[in-house]
Amino acid sequence: MTKTPLQFRHNGRDVALFVDGGVNLLVALRELIGDMTPKFGCGQGGCGACSVLIDGELHLSCLTLAETVNGRAVETLDGLKDGPNLHPLQRAFMEQFAAQCGYCTPGMLMAAKALLDRNPSPTRAEVVEAISGNICRCTGYEPIINAVLAAATSGRARA
Amino acid sequence: MLELRKDIFADERDDNLKEIGKGTQRQDMLGHVTGTSTYFDDHKLQGMLHLKVLRSPHAHARLRRIDTMEAERAPGVRRIIRGADVPINLNTLLSLINFGKDDEPSLAVDKVRYKGEPIVAVVADSPREAYEALAKVRVDYEPLPAVFDVEEALKPGAPVVNETYPKNTFVYHDVYDHQKLRFGDVERGFAEADHVLEQRYQMSPIEHAPTETNGSIAAPDTNGRYVVYTSTQALFFSLDTCAKILDVPSNTFHFIGGTVGGGFGGKVDTLTEPLAILGAMLTGRPVRYQLGREEEMQFGSPRGAERIYIKDGVMRDGRIVARKIRAYFDSGAYTRLSSYAVVKCVAHLPGPYTIPNVHGDVYCVFTNRTPATAMRGFGVTAMDFALECQMDKLAHLVGIDPMEFRILNAYRDGDMKAHRREAKNTALIECVQVAAEKAKWPLREEVKRMSSRTDGGGSRAAISPTPREPVPQRAAVSQQRTTYDRAPAATVQPPPPAPPTPPPPRPQAPSPSHGATRFSSVFGTRRR
Ligand code: FES
Ligand code: FES
The number of the ligand 2 atom at minimal distance from the alpha carbon of A102 is 1
Residue B495: per-residue pLDDT:
52
| B507-513: long-range contacts, CB 8 A cutoff, minimum separation 24 | B507/B99, B507/B172, B507/B173, B507/B343, B508/B173, B509/B98, B509/B99, B509/B173, B510/B173, B510/B174, B512/B98, B513/B97, B513/B98
Q: What pLDDT band is residue B208 in, cutting at 50, 70 and 90?
A: very high
Q: Which of B110-114, B118-122, B198-202, B499-503 has the lowest mean pLDDT?
A: B499-503
- A110, A112, A117, A119 alpha-carbon torsion, rounded to 10°: 160
Residue B496: per-residue pLDDT:
53
User: pLDDT tens, A103-140?
Assistant: 999 999 999 999 999 999 999 999 999 999 999 999 98
Phi, psi of A20 (to 5 degrees): -70, 150
Residue B17: per-residue pLDDT:
76
Q: What pLDDT band is residue B11 in, cutting at 50, 70 and 90?
A: confident
Residue B501: per-residue pLDDT:
54
Closest C-alpha to B488, from B129, B115, B138, B101: B101
Chain centre distance of CA B329: 10
Same domain, A64 and A105: no
User: What CATH number is given to the structural domain containing A140?
Assistant: 1.10.150.120
Same domain, A33 and A52: yes
> Quick check: A90 pLDDT over 70?
yes
Q: Which of A43, A60, A79 is the last residue of a domain?
A: A79
> Quick check: B499 pLDDT over 70?
no
Same domain, A74 and A105: no
Residue B249: per-residue pLDDT:
97
Sign of CA dihedral A133, A136, A139, A140: positive
Q: Which of A28, A57, A79 is the last residue of a domain?
A: A79
Residue B492: per-residue pLDDT:
45
Same domain, A42 and A95: no
C-beta atoms of A40 and B29 within 8 A: no
Same domain, A63 and A110: no
Same domain, A54 and A118: no
CA B364 – CA B203 distance, rounded (Å): 15
C-beta atoms of B211 and A104 within 8 A: yes
Asked if B376 has any chain A CB less than 8 Å from its own CB, the reply is no
What domains can be seen in chain B, in order of their start residue? 42-144+208-298 (3.90.1170.50), 151-206+302-461 (3.30.365.10)
Asked if A99 has any chain B CB less than 8 Å from its own CB, the reply is yes
Residue B13: per-residue pLDDT:
77
Same domain, A48 and A107: no
DSSP string, B117-160: -EEEEEEESSHHHHHHHHTT-EEEEEE------HHHHTSTTPPP
Same domain, A41 and A64: yes
> Quick check: B195 pLDDT over 90?
yes
Q: Select from B31, B37, B293 the Cβ nearest to the Cβ of A41.
A: B293
Euclidean distance between the first and final Cα of chain A, in Å? 51
Task: Tell how far the Cα of A114 is from the centroid of ligand 2, in angstroms.
Answer: 19
Q: Which of A25, A50, A79 is the last residue of a domain?
A: A79
Residue B261: per-residue pLDDT:
97
> Quick check: B112 pLDDT over 90?
yes
C-beta atoms of A138 and B262 within 8 A: yes
Same domain, A45 and A99: no
User: What CATH number is given to the structural domain containing A46?
Assistant: 3.10.20.30
ipTM of the complex: 0.97
| Mean per-residue pLDDT, B68-74 | 98
User: Mean pLDDT for chain B?
Assistant: 90
Same domain, A94 and A73: no
- If one counts the domains in chain A, the total is 2
Are residues B41 and B35 in contact, defined by beta-carbon separation less than 8 angstroms?
no
CA-based nearest residue in chain B for residue A42: B293
Same domain, A58 and A12: yes
Domain that holds residue A54: 3-79
Mutation site, B22, B26, B38, B211, interface A, largest A CB count within 10 A:
B211
> Quick check: A22 pLDDT over 50?
yes
Same domain, A75 and A97: no
Q: Which residues of B touch A139 (CB under 8 A)?
A: none
